[in-house]
Amino acid sequence: MAQKGRKVYLNMKTLDEAFKIWSNEFFGQSTATEVISVQEALHRVTAEPVFSTRSVPHYHGAAMDGFAVDASSTFGASETHPLRLKIGLDAFPVDTGDPLPEGTNAVIMIEHVTPVNNDEIEIRSSAYPWQHVRKVGEDIVSGELILPVNHLLKPPDLGALLAAGVTKIKVYKKPKVWIQPTGSELVKPENAVDLEPGKIIEFNGTIIKAMVEECSAKPLLHDIVPDEKDSIRKIILTACKSDADVVLINAGSSAGSEDYTVHIIEELGRVLVHGVTMMPGKPVILGEVLGKPIVGIPGYPVSAILAFNQFVKPLLWHLQGMWPPKEQTLKAVIGRKLASRLGLEEFVRVVVGSVQDRYVAMPIQRGAGIISSLTRATGIIRIPQELEGLNAGELVTVELLRPETSIDWNIIMIGSHDNTIDVIASELRARDSRIRLYSSNVGSLGGLIALKKGLAHIGGSHLLDTSDGSYNFSYIERYLKGIAVRVVELAKRQQGFIVNKGNPKNIHSIEDLTKDNVVFINRQAGAGTRILLDYELKKAGIETNQISGYEQEEFTHMAVAVAIVSGRADVGMGIYAAAKALDLDFIPVAEERYDLIIREDVWNDEKIQKLLDVIQSDSFKETVSKLGGYDPSNAGAILGVWNGSEWIKRN
């Protein structure tokens, strides 16, 4: 049974159904109109057809530098019979744009004229009427339709209007959008000095405000209202009685005991839709109060952005007489297998790069609250609600969040996580703003497999060969048959046990992991850290079932450190830099080598060479050394060249 005060989604709509209900209700409406100066009309939408009041040009003008003539006076001129014309009588000097002197109808280019003396010129070919002349109305004729109704004004449009004598224009008013953040836990950014646990900086309002402005609408961002039903009811009623065209209530749209928005909309007006089979964004509310469209925007930031894009963005453009600008898309292969829930249309954030003359889309973090995923993403793919997921290599459509031209400068790196990758990415952007380095953390072995399948430019790897203590070479031989790569050292680093400050569980060796009161956090299968751990356990004669938490997995060193600082675990294996970043203690276990495995077919690519320049630089090595636990002295050295069947070079 649902808890008191909760409203369970009993009748969720598909995205298509919800959009149809929403569009049928409100897309026939438009804002009022206003007359504004053409100079201020950029990105506004015309509310009526616009006609010229003068011709452009409004006089016959020279289109070239030269001499204006009456074409008939030049007939008969040729190479064998040159013709002489009197300056000021038969020919008149003109520059481009000059009005034609009376009695002339053509221009002879200056390059085709031979001066004879100060009074005469000679020509060797005849001119034809209106040669090199811009005639009256050649561009625009007085009274001609310049722009239709419902036209989004761009910079050239403004020039055409002014040239045609139009200085004022009737446009749709920018829709006013009331943005109302709600939540007792929210704190204004300017007041967030020392945040208490449970308090959150209110940033969704700023995101939504910016998105409203991108739709050429006017945002009205209001102060936070606490989770009190009467307060929220009062502010919704005030908003719907105001001159705002659309009302957005952020947070409180879900099914929690303090989520009042849907109940209040039901009391004051109509709930058209509550719950859409999309993820993120499921809790969205679409409603009407006092004839005004009202949207309950989910509180999680990614959910808020996606709900806005699906329902608010098209409404704002329709209120201005426009369909929203079409999103740019491209076809790509998915970089790794993706599971998805049946019955929900999932929006997955991806980074896209060009590998082997095809686009590869690599999924990144999927949580509804992970706003950084959208700052990193270059696009979004949709998994239809009838599918349980997508297989690696499957062709998908990507809705781009960045221009397609920038994608060719993206570097896709798949493999093991390392904190130095963020340093490389930052220095690359500083040196060349076109280049973005995107990494997906699936473990060292996953990186080699991605290289094999042509899904990445670079793999990050620290795979230990327990038979001889070497790194990566034997795995490349096993998994990259037929694929030529180069092995480049990035850094040597300290691996060990990350524990809480003061080491409260007294963990000093591998044997201490078996203590009854110790909970471990592991890395995923295929990760180099996991292989190192298993190697150390085997040497010590310890079975994995003797370790509480061995089955708990994380995909990055920082995630392991976070698990420890948050109390989920007492110890995990990772790099010293992760422990240092969160002020945790560290017990060294081994020094290992972390390498970049780079496909030979991209080695000479400009962006890869710039990456190599970065890791060989003194500034990079100095920054990495300061992270702690690293020895980057040999960064950039080529340790091996594998041609797909044998080593041409191996150190």
Question: Within a domain: residue 572?
Answer: yes
**Same-domain status, 92 and 156:** no
Question: Within a domain: residue 382?
Answer: yes
- What CATH number did the domain enclosing 113 receive? 2.170.190.11
**Same-domain status, 67 and 197:** no
- The token pair at 80 is 């064998």
The residue among 277, 296, 319 that closes a domain is 319
**Same-domain status, 601 and 638:** yes
**Same-domain status, 566 and 639:** yes
**Same-domain status, 483 and 584:** yes
**Same-domain status, 409 and 271:** no
**Same-domain status, 181 and 315:** yes
Mean pLDDT of 389-406: 88
* pLDDT attached to residue 5: 41
- What CATH number did the domain enclosing 542 receive? 3.40.190.10
- What CATH number did the domain enclosing 354 receive? 2.40.340.10
Confidence band of 535 (pLDDT split at 50, 70, 90): very high
Mean pLDDT of 243-261: 79
Question: Within a domain: residue 2?
Answer: no
Confidence band of 376 (pLDDT split at 50, 70, 90): confident
Confidence band of 360 (pLDDT split at 50, 70, 90): very high
> Residue 541 has what DSSP assignment?
T
Residue 8 has pLDDT above 60, yes or no: no
5-14, 307-316, 566-575: least confidently modelled range: 5-14
CB 169 within 8 A of CB 50: yes
Question: Within a domain: residue 5?
Answer: no
**Same-domain status, 76 and 110:** yes
Question: Within a domain: residue 392?
Answer: yes
**Same-domain status, 100 and 185:** no
Mean pLDDT of 401-405: 82
Distance in angstroms (rounded) separating the CA atoms of residues 437 and 457: 10
In Å, how far are 235, 240, 253, 261, 273 from 265, measured between CA atoms? Answer: 12, 11, 11, 6, 11
Question: Within a domain: residue 4?
Answer: no
Q: Mean pLDDT of all residues in the chain?
A: 92
Residue 179, domain extent? 15-29+175-319
Contacts of 124 (CB under 8 A, 6+ apart): 77, 78, 79, 82, 83, 112, 114
* pLDDT attached to residue 640: 96
**Which run of H or of E encompasses 649?**
strand 647-650
Provide the pairing of β-strand 395-400 with 379-383: antiparallel
**Same-domain status, 398 and 513:** no
- What CATH number did the domain enclosing 45 receive? 3.90.105.10
Distance in angstroms (rounded) separating the CA atoms of residues 10 and 494: 53
**Same-domain status, 145 and 130:** no
The residue among 252, 285, 319 that closes a domain is 319
DSSP string, 10-47: SS-B-HHHHHHHHHHHHTT----EEEEEGGG-TT-BBS
Phi, psi of 518 (to 5 degrees): -110, 130
DSSP string, 594-622: EEEEEEGGGTT-HHHHHHHHHHTSHHHHH
User: How many domains are there within the chain?
Assistant: 5
- What CATH number did the domain enclosing 296 receive? 3.40.980.10
CB 132 within 8 A of CB 157: no
Share of the chain above pLDDT 90, in %: 81
Return the closest-CA partner of residue 332 out of 378, 388, 278: 378
Question: Within a domain: residue 426?
Answer: no
* pLDDT attached to residue 3: 37
The 3-state DSSP class for residue 167 equals: coil
The residue among 269, 296, 319 that closes a domain is 319
Confidence band of 365 (pLDDT split at 50, 70, 90): confident
The 3-state DSSP class for residue 347 equals: strand
* pLDDT attached to residue 443: 86
Residue 64 has pLDDT above 70, yes or no: yes
Confidence band of 256 (pLDDT split at 50, 70, 90): low
Distance in angstroms (rounded) separating the CA atoms of residues 365 and 594: 24
- The token pair at 265 is 């909309």
Q: Is the sign of the CA dihedral 339, 343, 344, 350 positive or negative?
A: positive
Question: Within a domain: residue 555?
Answer: yes
More confident site: 58 or 371: 58
190-226, pLDDT tens digit by residue? 887 788 888 899 999 999 999 999 999 999 999 999 9
Return the closest-CA partner of residue 424 out of 612, 580, 606, 602: 612
**Same-domain status, 410 and 390:** yes
